Structure 1
Amino acid sequence: MIPDETRPAARPDLPEPGGPVPRRRRRWWRVVRWTGAVVVVLALVASGLAVWSVRRGFPQYDGTLSLPGLTAPVKVFRDSYGVAQIYADSATDLLQAQGYVTAQDRFWEMDYRRHLTSGRLAELLGPPLVRTDAFLRTLGWRRTAEREWQRISPEARSYLRAYADGVNAWIAANGAAAASGAKSLEYTVLGLQNPGYTVEPWDPVDSLAWLKALAWELLGNMDAEIDRSLLLAQGLSRRQIEQLYPPYPYARNRPIVDTPGTPSRPVPARVWREAAPALDALRSLPLRAGGDTGGDTAGIGSNSWVVSGALTASGKPLLANDPHLAASLPGTWYQVGLRCSCAYNVQGFTMPGLPGVVTGRNERIAWGLTNLPADVSDLYLEKVEGERYFDGKAWRALDSRQEVIKVAGGEPVTITVRATRHGPLLSDRRADMLGVAARPPLDPSGGPLPSLTPGPLPSLDTGEPGVPAPAAAEPYAVALRWTASEPGRTMDALFGINKAANWTEFRAAAALFDEPAQNLVYADVDGHIGYQAPGRIPIRGKGDGSWPVPGWDPAYDWTGFIPFAELPTLSDPPGGVIVTANQAVAGPSYRHVITTDWTYGYRGRRILDLIAERTARGKIGVADMRRMQSDNLNGGAAAVVPALLAVPLNDGAVAKARNLLKGWDFQQSTDSAAAAFYNATWRSLLARTFDELPQDRKAGNGDRWWEVVAALLRSPESPWWDDRRTGRRESMADILAAAMDEATAELTARLGPDPAAWRWGDLHTLTLRGYGPGQSGIAPVEWLFNRGPVPIAGGGDAVNSTSWSAAGGYDDVVFVPTMRMIVDLSDPEGSRWVLLAGTSGHAFHPHFDDQLELWRTGQDTPMRWRRKSIEAAAEHVLTFAPTGKG
């Protein structure tokens, strides 16, 4: 569970603001849109009203507030970091208060996200978001959430209503008009560019829709599926592509659970060349995580592990969790404690807009989660003629509906959403990309594809979105089938996990966890630990999901989903350790195909190694878990550094820089000179070695590329080593030397001539950007809502996974550990947690970014549990009184 706006967005809550609007019109709109904001901000500063304007939206933390609908008073204690601990007499009172408190801190974020999930950003922020809205209307997140509302339990609906009641009470108390700065500074700025905007009441379905956005962000291998097909279409051989997507190294990096069964299916031989234009349309769409990472989404992941009491100093389990999601300000997560005299007593991290807790602890159990990168989607190439498609037996009418996108400062835009039996035609959002060759891309007899020479791709400047291509130019389209397009019961699962008291109840709740598929780790006060993989994971009749498939061949349809009883699980393993870090869940003998696109297990292996090293010296404590979470080791450097040190060098300056690698422990702290030189060399090495890749699919970073390069180092004569741009044939040694030479020149120019003075943190920095105005491109406005850059340690697929794009730059940091948590099952007062930035979403509030330095330096704060300690640490106390009793 991503924010450079100059490329396909790295996460669903920060969509690409560009799109098909002509460039001059985009520039004009941006200037008009934000000039007023800049003028007013400067005027406020000049008149001395800036402080009042900024603080006007700050929430009330003390005293008494009336809250309609409560059955009894509710207390809210906040500590020195603004973390709310809520005490009520009933679950509905508790969740209603949670809704109000969350809105106090984060309503702009909640409002922005619900516009995103409904495909309504353009009515909030104007024409540049029309393209994003069109794509989201095609996916239909909101429509699915509305169907999901009918499927979840009555209890879940009552909880969601209570939460919405609390949010709506806050809206009523703070004014619905955009110009009302009583809500937050963002609404003051919004009121200048969109003065007619009025905040709508919060609908319980708004909460459900965010689960769809989260599932999309964590979607398994769709980018890799598209990229493999496009690389083949653009001239790479099947053998070259297989070298870029090597098999998972089961012998070195063991899976979470190795369950015996029948062998998994091999990668299919059929691939799609002539579908390249339609597939390229999808690769360039907003809201996918790949960005400029060459299709890598490894940064979206997380670490979570649990050790049993046999290995801990206390004799009870310890559980750690740190999800790697998109960096933003405010962050993805919100800390909260929820306690009542009923069965609902839980504390942990939730997401603004979601009631309850997503990951955390209750009185009896603790749990953490990481992304299980299951392949839960397939791209179907569909034969299309006008408004019909071929299903393998007959031509059928496309399902079709119209959607009207309202636009702030512009005219409404009407789009047509079309779908086959497999799902929506995503390629309709880039209609110009549908022109493909007239020949079928697959030999109907099942034989090999003919040899084809693809032509140049059409222009990407498409005009307005959603305009269908002429029928004669669209013989093929691309449809998406995705498990999250069907309503599920994930909300029931979350509420059930919050109240579970043991492993049996925990698994029963996990069985309802439909999407996104997750790795769930578990520990309880009785000393048990466990692992469960939940989620709807399809069973395919043919193929394994690695490549797009023919929609007209029913053999490729899904035949069902892996039964929950057959999903990988583990309880009290003999070794006393369970680690999930997006590595393979099960071994190659597991009878079902979960995915062929795992991350490669380096983080998981490193965590296991750290645990083994620590237990060899004694028992593990909370401080040990904290140090493990902050481990900065580059797991790929061990294969590359010896090769670099073995290369003859003639340049003394380069040799001096290379000396930094001698004795380097591969740790990437902010003050490491060796890390700076190595990563600069690595970036150059990838660019030179993989110059054959198209410009928009350059080598990224992360452990897939570690695995690829390690294999090439064992093949010094591989054609990959030749840099075709130079006009001569390079050897492996030539490329390694050239990469070090380029790195030395770059760092000398940027950081000075003395290699000993280079610092990784001077290159590897993080800037946190706010939603909406924080992405405006207008420096004075962004200054209000953004923070950074700050130096950060780690790197892609370190345990401290602060990923950066080799195609972008060291400061192109997208995914980071968005929170960290350590739960001590022996002493709840000994648990620890920290957020990426802070609990508040109000710019300049004391809790806006007060945890950033703690997070950056690997520190954390107490995760207090007992009421006595919570009250003792409270700096603010707020009472919610039923209406008429205030």
Structure 2
Amino acid sequence: MPPNTTASSGDKPGKSGRKKGRRARLLVLVLVLAIVGGIAYGSYWSISTVRASFPQTKGSLTLKGLSGPVTVKRDGYGIPQIYASSDADLFMAQGYVQAQDRFYEMDVRRHMTSGRLSEMFGKGQVKDDEFLRTLGWDRVAKEEYDTKLSASTKNYLQAYSKGVNAYLQGKDGKDISLEYAALGFVNDYRPEQWTPVDSVSWLKAMAWDLRGNMDDEIDRALMTSRLGPQQIKDLYPDYPYGRNKTIVQEGQYDELTKTFQQSGSTDGSGTSTGTSGSSTSSAGGSALTSQLAGLYDVLDDVPTAVGVNGQGIGSNSWVVGGKYTITGKPLLANDPHLSASLPSVWYQMGLHCTTVSSKCQYDVTGYTFAGMPGVIIGHNADMAWGMTNSGVDVTDLYLEKLSGDGYLYDGKTKPFTSREEIIKVAGGSSKKIVVRQTADGMPLLSDRNDELVQVGKKASVDTAAPDRGDGYGVALKWTALQPGTTMDAVFALDKASDWSSFRDAAAQFDVPSQNLIYADTKNNIGYTLPGKIPTRASGHDGSVPAPGWDSKYKWTGFIKQDELPYEYNPKRGYIVTANQAVVDDKYPYTLTTDWGYGTRSQRITDLIESKIKDGGKISTDDMRQMQVDNSSEIAKLLVPKLLKINLDDKDVREAQKLLEGWDYTQDADSAAAAYFNSVWRNILKLAFGNKLPKELRVKGQCLWVDRVDNTGPVDDDSKVRECGERAADQAQPDGGDRWFEVVRNLMDKPDSDWWKTPAGAGDRNKANNMDELFERAMVDARWELTAKLGKDIDTWSWGRLHRLFLKNQTLGTEGPAIVQYVLNRGPWKLSGGEATVDATGWNAAGGYGVVWVPSMRMVVNLDDLDKSKWINLTGASGHAFSAHYTDQTGKWADGELLPWSFSDKAVDKSTGDTLVLKP
């Protein structure tokens, strides 16, 4: 029951995960009985609890600690705009209001970031807590707060915490949320006071989900057990620079490249962008395989903060300069692609000083996280900004050679530093673990999984200390394990007024590294890549785990801020960022070997170019329509080929005809989209599913997904494990745009061994080449959809396969029907798909259900900020029976945007409820 988790991936539903699931379901069952008992009989507990936890949004109340009155104005969707006369009052009120709407979510998040989920949910969460304690997010956040953050940032964090705690004062759990009332039936958990470190820790969790290419690093290493260098290169093709444009095409990056080319030197930190060979091959392949395969078990089970474990999710943002807009001023769009969670990871609000001055400096609105002061993405009176994940490589895994109580480094044994961690468990028990770190602060991840210590001497089950015997371990080097200044950056961005102050603010945004786009009311646009990005010695590009015993593989430093790419007012008049390569291969540093392959970014670029050709202009609604573009780029490549295949079976030919004249759009009501995506999934399964190393099977191989024909409340049998059709030792691609590029390249090699596959069940013909494999995929897809959607293709639609269920982040993730009925919402039949601009992502390894989504959408109009538009995935409230729990979801699913008021006049016009907080 950790936040935002689907059931953990695995090889068979019969390992230790099953026991953990039973324990979790037992707890949920008790909670459900309590909830059902209350709801079914209309008891005082259920009615009063639901009502008591709703926020007061009208009238006035006293808030001790304010220096003056604060006004909270909420619109018809419950979105608050806060007005205060001092910075301290503004952020104190922000803490109070967010706690009103989302404190349970905030509390779960801080328990996750500090490795204390067991305190809320019992022993089923101990393994997760062990791993999170090993990473030590809260310890790093504490050091960050104590040593790195500015005095003003600390003051804001303290004021925010004071507001949260003012809300908690005098309240029992049942007064805060329905979930606490339910938890009260099985344990004596009570929420504790909020602290500034609780807010800072969330940045570490966000950085973990956006950490870059660590999963690809593991995959490539595991592939060496079964595949040769060329086969691995087939599966990790070079970025298509000639076809898909990079983010930066003009600007400082050109000057930097010229300087380095003239000097003929990169200080040993520039390396090839191609994947390197296995730098750890001499260390013993079996040791590495054992370590990394076990590591997957751990990683797949770790609770997610904003992303999806092991999936290459991304985001879209773009900005169009005034010369190409109807208004003559820039338009800026952003839609981050994150886990589908309930409530949404984002919280919409405005923070306004009644008079902007040195005493009160903020007039900003946008999206933030519940539990964190300030605004993360949005606009102020002068400029707007958006973010997408840059994907730069800020993590490296090191295979460590253990020796006695230490590890080898340049031929000498160095001691680990260690600390004890006590994990408290609901019910009164506790568990002690020992966390080991190398001298430069790398935690030994391999200590957290039983399978990972089998290489060395077996540890006693009675000791808390990890295995001290000789063997191998896996350690993590990650920028977020060092204290940084990202929290300072948030407040600096909120009050930046021009390009210079924006760039200064962005430079403090060190982890996670993000693509930041910019537009201002004076008709300027820009892009900058901030972040703490490591440099590596020549020969080590971070694409595979490195030998930790050799100092030549250590990081050599970090790229200087003035050497990072940026653009300002490029001649082309627009900037697009959608997780594609930031720069081309002439840039002197290796930012990563694993960019997104540019499918979405190039589609956005093409859409912009098509609008502005021949003097055309772009409107706010044009930007919105681009956000919901669902054209399938892989379909454009494959469908012409699929239509040329001769099919003997009339039923399969009937399905094939769906593709004739199809415009490649993936609307929810499209039968062609349903059939094509099934063909695509079956192509991947046949070409690659039985050829990848079995160790990769744990990544997305078996996912719990919702039965397609279920249209009522979710029941016990509505979830099926989408791996029964595959052998347990098969791995399957997830189907993202890397696989688009893999298949595109292999289509030039129709006789490649990748296209060959043995005969299947039911006398399915074996395939000896690409055409034969495509034919078999079309046959398999026809019968798969017949089983799922019925024989009559007139009833097929993509939306029946591609559905979104929104699940409460804890009590709604497991258990019988009634708990999901009470806390969860859905389904929604969605348009869009994998690697489309409308990126309602699905994982081909686990079915067609929606896994990640555009978590919000916004379009900022820099000519008239009150004509900007926005929407959230769910709603403002985290209370399950609030009118604002999911009141934006229907419009979000339809691609609509809501009015986004900013000026005093516009906010007053849209205000439904007004609350005055008095000192």
- TM-score norm. by structure 1 comes to 0.92
For 1:816, give the aligned amino acid: V
Residue identity over aligned pairs, in percent, reads 46
Structure 2 equivalent of residue 659 of structure 1: 657
Structure 1 residues not aligned, in runs of 5+: 10-17, 439-457
**Conserved 8 A contact 2:402-2:471:** yes
Residue 710 of structure 2 corresponds to residue 710 of structure 1: no
Correspondent of 1:339 among 341, 352, 356:
352
For 2:372, give the aligned amino acid: L
Correspondent of 1:187 among 173, 180, 185:
180
How many Å apart are 1:231 and its aligned residue?
1.6
Structure 2 equivalent of residue 161 of structure 1: 158
**Conserved 8 A contact 2:400-2:408:** yes
Structure 2 equivalent of residue 821 of structure 1: 858
Distance 1:264 1:28, change over 3 A: closer
For 2:175, give the aligned amino acid: A
Write the deviation string for residues 182-210 of structure 1: whole angstroms up to 9, x where unpaired.
1011111111122x111110000000000
Residue 717 of structure 2 corresponds to residue 701 of structure 1: no
Write the deviation string for residues 251-308 of structure 1: whole angstroms up to 9, x where unpaired.
00011114342574243223442311111122221467999xxx99564211010000
How many Å apart are 1:99 and its aligned residue?
0.4
In structure 2, C-alpha distance between the alignment counterparts of 1:706 and 1:466, rounded to whole Å: 49
Distance 1:296 1:31, change over 3 A: closer
Residue 797 of structure 2 corresponds to residue 759 of structure 1: yes
Count how many residue pairs are aligned between Structure 1 and Structure 2.
841
In structure 2, C-alpha distance between the alignment counterparts of 1:32 and 1:369, rounded to whole Å: 39
Residue 72 of structure 2 corresponds to residue 71 of structure 1: no
Residue 205 of structure 2 corresponds to residue 213 of structure 1: yes
Distance 1:392 1:855, change over 3 A: same
Structure 1 equivalent of residue 329 of structure 2: 316
Correspondent of 1:856 among 880, 893, 897:
893
Residue 216 of structure 2 corresponds to residue 224 of structure 1: yes
Write the deviation string for residues 489-508 of structure 1: whole angstroms up to 9, x where unpaired.
00111100100000000001
Correspondent of 1:31 among 14, 23, 26:
26
Residue 343 of structure 2 corresponds to residue 330 of structure 1: yes
Write the deviation string for residues 548-600 of structure 1: whole angstroms up to 9, x where unpaired.
00111111111110000011100000011000000000000001110000010
**Conserved 8 A contact 1:306-1:522:** yes
In structure 2, C-alpha distance between the alignment counterparts of 1:271 and 1:29, rounded to whole Å: 41
Write the deviation string for residues 811-851 of structure 1: whole angstroms up to 9, x where unpaired.
1x221100001000000110000000101000010000000
Structure 1 equivalent of residue 639 of structure 2: 641
In structure 2, C-alpha distance between the alignment counterparts of 1:507 and 1:28, rounded to whole Å: 50
Structure 2 residues not aligned, in runs of 5+: 262-269, 699-730
**Conserved 8 A contact 1:383-1:475:** yes
Residue 424 of structure 2 corresponds to residue 426 of structure 1: no
Distance 1:32 1:859, change over 3 A: closer
Write the deviation string for residues 56-97 of structure 1: whole angstroms up to 9, x where unpaired.
211101010111111110001100000000000011101100
In structure 2, C-alpha distance between the alignment counterparts of 1:763 and 1:153, rounded to whole Å: 50
Correspondent of 2:379 among 336, 347, 361:
361
In structure 1, C-alpha distance between the alignment counterparts of 2:405 and 2:302, rounded to whole Å: 31
How many Å apart are 1:42 and its aligned residue?
2.8
For 2:396, give the aligned amino acid: D
SS at match of 1:788: strand
How many Å apart are 1:173 and its aligned residue?
4.4
SS at match of 1:603: helix
How many Å apart are 1:52 and its aligned residue?
3.3
**Conserved 8 A contact 1:8-1:289:** no
How many Å apart are 1:874 and its aligned residue?
0.9
- Aligned pairs for 1:7-156 within 5 A: 7=8, 23-24=18-19, 27-28=22-23, 30-32=25-27, 34-49=29-44, 50-150=46-146, 151-156=148-153
How many Å apart are 1:322 and its aligned residue?
0.3
Residue 494 of structure 2 corresponds to residue 498 of structure 1: yes
How many Å apart are 1:23 and its aligned residue?
4.4
How many Å apart are 1:757 and its aligned residue?
2.9
Residue 392 of structure 2 corresponds to residue 394 of structure 1: no
**Conserved 8 A contact 2:453-2:467:** no
Distance 1:113 1:296, change over 3 A: closer
For 2:201, give the aligned amino acid: A
Distance 1:629 1:352, change over 3 A: same
Correspondent of 2:233 among 238, 242, 245:
242
Structure 2 equivalent of residue 736 of structure 1: 774
How many Å apart are 1:4 and its aligned residue?
4.7
Distance 1:100 1:876, change over 3 A: same
How many Å apart are 1:424 and its aligned residue?
0.3
Residue 719 of structure 2 corresponds to residue 682 of structure 1: no
SS at match of 2:176: coil
Write the deviation string for residues 355-406 of structure 1: whole angstroms up to 9, x where unpaired.
0100000000000000000100110111102321111131011111110100
**Conserved 8 A contact 1:229-1:271:** no
For 1:349, give the aligned amino acid: Y
For 2:748, give the aligned amino acid: R
**Conserved 8 A contact 1:220-1:374:** yes
In structure 2, C-alpha distance between the alignment counterparts of 1:256 and 1:210, rounded to whole Å: 28
**Conserved 8 A contact 2:91-2:374:** yes
Structure 2 equivalent of residue 385 of structure 1: 403
Distance 1:470 1:174, change over 3 A: closer
Q: Quick check: 747-756 or 818-827, which moved more?
A: 747-756
**Conserved 8 A contact 2:511-2:532:** yes
SS at match of 1:193: coil
**Conserved 8 A contact 1:134-1:465:** no
Structure 2 equivalent of residue 448 of structure 1: none
- TM-score norm. by structure 2 comes to 0.88
Distance 1:315 1:115, change over 3 A: same
Q: Structure 1: which 4+ aligned runs deviate by more than 4 Å?
A: 18-26, 287-291, 295-299, 462-472, 725-729
SS at match of 1:369: strand
In structure 1, C-alpha distance between the alignment counterparts of 2:24 and 2:7, rounded to whole Å: 17
Write the deviation string for residues 711-755 of structure 1: whole angstroms up to 9, x where unpaired.
122211000111146495532122111111111112223223332
SS at match of 1:642: helix
Structure 1 equivalent of residue 243 of structure 2: 252
Structure 2 equivalent of residue 442 of structure 1: none
In structure 2, C-alpha distance between the alignment counterparts of 1:320 and 1:39, rounded to whole Å: 45
In structure 2, C-alpha distance between the alignment counterparts of 1:216 and 1:24, rounded to whole Å: 27
For 1:44, give the aligned amino acid: I
Write the deviation string for residues 649-704 of structure 1: whole angstroms up to 9, x where unpaired.
11111111111111211110101111000001111111111121233341111100
**Conserved 8 A contact 1:8-1:286:** no
Residue 671 of structure 2 corresponds to residue 673 of structure 1: yes
In structure 2, C-alpha distance between the alignment counterparts of 1:218 and 1:864, rounded to whole Å: 31
For 2:452, give the aligned amino acid: M
In structure 1, C-alpha distance between the alignment counterparts of 2:642 and 2:456, rounded to whole Å: 46
In structure 1, C-alpha distance between the alignment counterparts of 2:246 and 2:463, rounded to whole Å: 43
RMSD of the alignment, in Å?
2.3
In structure 2, C-alpha distance between the alignment counterparts of 1:637 and 1:729, rounded to whole Å: 21
Q: Quick check: 730-739 or 297-306, which moved more?
A: 297-306
In structure 1, C-alpha distance between the alignment counterparts of 2:791 and 2:151, rounded to whole Å: 67
Correspondent of 1:869 among 906, 909, 919:
906
SS at match of 1:251: coil
In structure 2, C-alpha distance between the alignment counterparts of 1:35 and 1:298, rounded to whole Å: 33
For 1:709, give the aligned amino acid: V
Residue 815 of structure 2 corresponds to residue 777 of structure 1: yes
**Conserved 8 A contact 2:321-2:330:** yes
SS at match of 1:98: helix
Structure 2 equivalent of residue 268 of structure 1: 276
Structure 1 equivalent of residue 594 of structure 2: 597
Correspondent of 1:723 among 757, 762, 776:
757
SS at match of 1:600: coil
Distance 1:186 1:286, change over 3 A: farther
Structure 2 equivalent of residue 415 of structure 1: 433
Distance 1:560 1:466, change over 3 A: farther
Structure 2 equivalent of residue 478 of structure 1: 474
